[in-house]
Amino acid sequence: MTQTETPVPQPDQTPGVPDGDRLDARVLLVAGVVVLGGIMSILDVTVVSVALQTFQQEFDATAAQVAWTMTGYTLALATVIPLTGWAADRFGTKRLYLLAVGLFTAGSVLCAVADSLSMLVTFRVLQGLGGGMLMPLGMTILTREAGPHRVGRVMAIMGIPMLLGPIFGPILGGWLIDIASWHWIFLINLPIGIFAFGYALVVLEKDHVEPSETFDWVGMVLLSPGLALFLYGVSSIPGAKEEHGTPWTAEVVGTMVAGVLLLVAFVPWALRRANIHPLVELRLLKDRTMTVALITMSLFAISFFGASLLFPLYFQQVRGEDALGAGLLLAPQGIGAMLTMPVAGFLVDRIGPGKIVLVGISVITVGMGLFTQIDAETSYAYLLSALFVMGLGMGATMMPIMTAALGTLRDHDIARGSTLLNIQQQVAASIGTALFSVILTDRFLAQPAVEQVRDLNNATGGSDDQSVLAEAATKLGLDPATLPQLFDRAADGMADAFATVFVVATVLVATCLVPAFFLPRRKLDRPVDPAAMAGH
């Protein structure tokens, strides 16, 4: 049976889902809980990214050492996300959501009072254990609350934190560090976390948990360490390339191979007929729409999220903007996405995701293609217009793909589907980030002027004092009188490197059109659980 849309309750409607197409007050209240949690989790990733240099100075550490404040958080996400589907079924979404908010908030406060780098990394892991559950849980809670006929619009709401985090994170982080100290990038989460906990406690309905499923211990031993090892290896690739000249060091290859072996071993275990409740339900991939959506999202996350790191780097390294300025310059992308996302969500519920995603990816390809023509003096009007165009496409792409992935699942499969989707997105985004970092580093190494300026910056600690620069240049065998020309050549070389990498990004985004062509081009019909029918 399919979901009806008449205002009179029908036997095939999901219990507890309000009638009608509009997002009523109840759904919007729940959406507020979910968006707040998502913003907390995603914002914290990008807020910390602008504080890495501050951590180096504060803890007298190297760039590789402070990078663990990011890597530890990411590995915690990868470890806990696979457990979320089982835990949601076992303990209930409300209890688990409150636990996730509590862990994240407690971890934030502990990060703020850390007095050593090792303590900060440890507490970032605690933060990640809470933050990793917030997005998949939020998807499950909101999709169940709204019902299948409004899943496109609720996915559009879920896209808000995914958009706002990368855009406003650097702005907020830079501002807090400028006016206060690095401690406040974590302390800011305390009042937000307390409010989010109280809000969720009041708004979310009491859990009605069915008899508990058995826990897949073998799956946990294979999947969580496998994901953590693989992502550790992938995230180490750029650093290995820069430090050793090759990404394929023993550490990188060893951890990636170990991770892949564990992941490969997990697949037949999860698909065993006797394995009634696997940690991650790979049998959902029998659903053609789910499989096509996952393939599309994987390619999109690799290309778009990987390339997204290039924009702030271009503004900072080529145009000389600080973290706050670079963050502000990225705002047009968010504005564009916020304009199209609600419209795309409405249309997906009406005509299906296929046509919307094809248009969205095409628009992103055009916007990304504009960046292949940049140089060291490209006008800001051109750059901001290109970002705005990309934002328009982004709003019509990511959340409609997620709608397609979850839109045909039964209620009891949503938690497992959300978990699978979030694992895949985390892995793909990490691969994309490593891929574009390595390509960009290769292009930089091909530019002698860029390498000379890097050596100069390392020798001076980034100082712009002319006497310090002149002294360092002399020691490096450079003529201080030619430094202005050297800096101009380096800027041109870096801009050329970025333009080349954007060519790769444009081609990869365009390849997303192939799987997107097979997404449904009609309204999605999700089957109703027999258990839900029995509730009438």
Instruction: Say if CB 527 and CB 1 are below 8 A apart.
Output: yes
Structure tokens at 230: 């693989």
Domain segments of the chain as ranges:
1-212, 216-276, 284-447+499-522
Calpha distance 55→173 (Å, rounded): 13
Calpha distance 174→48 (Å, rounded): 9
Calpha distance 136→407 (Å, rounded): 15
Domains 1-212 and 284-447+499-522 share a fold: yes
Calpha distance 393→526 (Å, rounded): 26
Structure tokens at 305: 């999220």
Q: Which amino acid is at 521?
A: R
Please report which residue ranges of 248-352 form alpha helices under DSSP H: 250-271, 288-300, 306-308, 310-313, 323-329, 331-351
Structure tokens at 498: 């970025």
Contacts 24+ apart (CB under 8 A), 268-277: 269/218, 269/219, 269/222, 270/219, 275/216, 275/219, 276/213, 276/214, 277/86, 277/213, 277/214, 277/215, 277/216
Count, residues in the chain: 536
Q: What is the DSSP string of 143-177?
A: HHHH-GGGHHHHHHHHHHHHHHHHHHHHHHHHHHH
Calpha distance 271→312 (Å, rounded): 42
CA distances from 148 to 145, 204, 360, 421, 524 (A): 9, 19, 22, 17, 8
Q: What is the CATH number of domain 284-447+499-522?
A: 1.20.1250.20
- What is the chain's Cα-based Rg? 24
Q: Which amino acid is at 209?
A: V
Identify the three-state secondary structure at position 520: coil
Instruction: Say if CB 360 and CB 400 are below 8 A apart.
Output: yes
At the topology level of CATH, where does 1-212 sit? Growth Hormone; Chain: A; (1.20.1250)
Residues whose CB is less than 8 angstroms from the CB of residue 384 and which lie 6 or more positions away in sequence, other chains included:
329, 332
Structure tokens at 258: 């170990």
Instruction: Say if CB 501 and CB 318 are below 8 A apart.
Output: no
Q: What is the DSSP string of 487-523?
A: HHHHHHHHHHHHHHHHHHHHHHHHHTHHHHTTS--S-
CA distances from 498 to 239, 382, 405 (A): 18, 16, 33
Identify the three-state secondary structure at position 534: helix
Residues whose CB is less than 8 angstroms from the CB of residue 192 and which lie 6 or more positions away in sequence, other chains included:
36, 40, 105
Calpha distance 150→142 (Å, rounded): 10
| Among 302, 334, 312, CA closest to 434 | 302
What is the 3-class SS of 137-148, one letter each residue?
HHHHHHHHHHCH
Can you count the helices (H) and strands (E) in the chain? 25, 0
Q: Which amino acid is at 518?
A: F
pLDDT in tens, the chain (536 residues): 334 333 433 333 444 444 445 667 888 888 888 888 888 877 777 778 778 778 888 888 876 778 788 888 888 887 888 888 888 888 888 999 999 999 999 999 999 999 999 999 999 999 989 988 888 888 888 877 777 667 667 777 777 776 667 667 777 887 888 788 889 989 988 998 999 999 999 988 887 776 566 788 888 899 989 988 998 888 888 878 777 778 888 888 999 999 999 999 999 998 886 767 788 888 888 888 899 999 999 999 999 888 887 888 888 888 888 767 877 888 898 889 888 988 888 888 888 899 999 999 999 999 999 999 999 899 999 999 999 999 999 989 988 898 888 877 777 777 788 888 888 888 888 888 888 888 888 888 777 777 777 777 767 666 676 777 777 778 777 777 777 788 788 888 888 999 999 999 999 999 999 999 999 888 776 555 544 444 43
Q: What is the DSSP string of 60-98?
A: T--HHHHTHHHHHHHHHHHHHHHHHHHHHHHH-HHHHHH
Strands annotated E in 297-437? none
Instruction: Say if CB 86 and CB 219 are below 8 A apart.
Output: no
Question: φ, ψ for residue 10 (rounded to 5)?
Answer: -115, 160
Calpha distance 407→518 (Å, rounded): 15
Calpha distance 324→343 (Å, rounded): 30
Element (H, E) at 367: helix 353-370
| Among 119, 114, 84, CA closest to 100 | 84
Question: φ, ψ for residue 401 (rounded to 5)?
Answer: -65, -45
